Amino acid sequence: MLSIASSELIQIFRNRLVLVTSLIMPVAVSVYFVRQRDTFTAIGSLGYIAAIILFTVAAFGLYATAVTTLASQRQNLFLKRLRSTAAGDSEILTGLLLPATVLALVQATAILSALAVVADGPANVPLLVVAVLATVAMMVGLALATAGLTNSPEHAQVTTLPVSLGVIAVASWVGISGTEQLTLVKRLLPGGSATELVLNAWNGGVAVTDSLLLLGPTLGWVVVAVLLATRLFRWEPRR
C-alpha cells in the first residue's frame, strides 16, 4: 500500500493539471477568503469562512484529484495490473487515494491555522477536527462513486463539477443563512450538516452533544457513496 501511495504522490507532482487542481487552486481561493475575512465575516461569520476553506480544499484538492487519479489509472490499465499483484482491492484504493487525502488534510490544517492566527480561533478544536475528518471521509466516498462514472482524466473535469460546486454552494447557503429555516433540507444536502458542524466548532454557542448529532447525515452520505461505488466502480476501461 505504501509503495502504491509513494508512487502516486510522485505522479501528482509530475502532473501539472492535477498539481494546479489539488494544490494551487485551493490555496489561492483560501488565501483570498482569509485576506478578505472582514468582508465575509460581515455576511456570515468566521465559521463560515472556515467552512468555505475546508470545502474548497476538500472539493478541488481531494475530491477532483481523487476522481482524476482513479480515471487515469483505469485508462492506462494500471488498476488492472495492480489487481494481479498480492495487494487487495482495499489496499490498492487506499494507496492511490492516500496522497491526495494527506495533502488535503495538510492544506486544510495549515490554512485554518493561519485563519486562527490572524483572527479569533475556533471555540472547540476537537469538534473542528471531527468536522474536518467527517468532511474528508464524505468527499473520498463521493470520489469513489464519481470515478465509476468517469471514463478518462479529461472526462473528470466534467463529472466532478456538480459535486464540487454543489458542496461549496451548500456550504455558502448554510454558512450565510444558518439552519433556522429549512433545517432538515439543509442538513440532508451533502455538506450541509458538515458546514453546520464547522460553524458550531468555530463560533461556539452550541452544546457538543447537539453538534455531534450532525455527524449522522454526513456519515450517511459516506455510506450512500460507498454503496454507489460498489455498483458503479470499474477496474478496467469501459468498452
Mean pLDDT per block of 10 residues along the chain (239 residues) reads 71 66 71 73 84 92 90 84 79 88 90 86 91 93 90 87 94 90 91 93 85 89 88 79
Given this model, what pLDDT does residue 61 score?
A: 85
CA 88, 93, 99: angle at the middle one, nearest 5? 130
| Backbone torsion region of residue 238, taken as left when φ is above 0, otherwise alpha when ψ lies between -120 and 50, otherwise beta | beta
The helix or strand, by DSSP H or E, that contains position 173, with its residue range, turns out to be: helix 161-177
User: Which of 117, 88, 123, 103 minimizes the C-alpha distance to 201?
Assistant: 123
Of the CA atoms within 13 Å of residue 225, those in its CB half-sphere come to 22
Contact 116, 122 (CB under 8 A): yes
Residue pair 111/196 in contact (Cβ under 8 Å)? The answer is: no
Q: Are the CB atoms for 64 and 160 separated by under 8 Å?
A: yes
* Cβ proximity of 108 and 54 under 8 Å: yes
pLDDT at 174: 93
Backbone angles phi, psi at 122, to 5 degrees: -65, 145
Q: What is the pLDDT of residues 38-95, one digit of tens each?
A: 776 778 788 899 999 999 999 988 999 899 889 888 888 878 887 777 777 888 888 8
pLDDT at position 19: 64
CA distance 34 to 210: 28
Determine the pLDDT at residue 17.
65
CA distances from 205 to 86, 116, 199, 239 (A): 51, 18, 10, 55
Q: What is the CA radius of gyration of the chain?
A: 18
Q: Find the distance separating the first CA and the last CA of the chain, reported in whole Å.
A: 29
CA nearest 49: which of 141, 134, 122? 122
For residue 35, the model assigns a pLDDT of 75
The Cα–Cα gap between 170 and 202 comes to: 18
Across 21-56, b (16+ Cβ under 10 Å) vs e yields bbbebbbebbeebbeebeebeeebbbbbbbbbbbbb
**pTM here?**
0.89
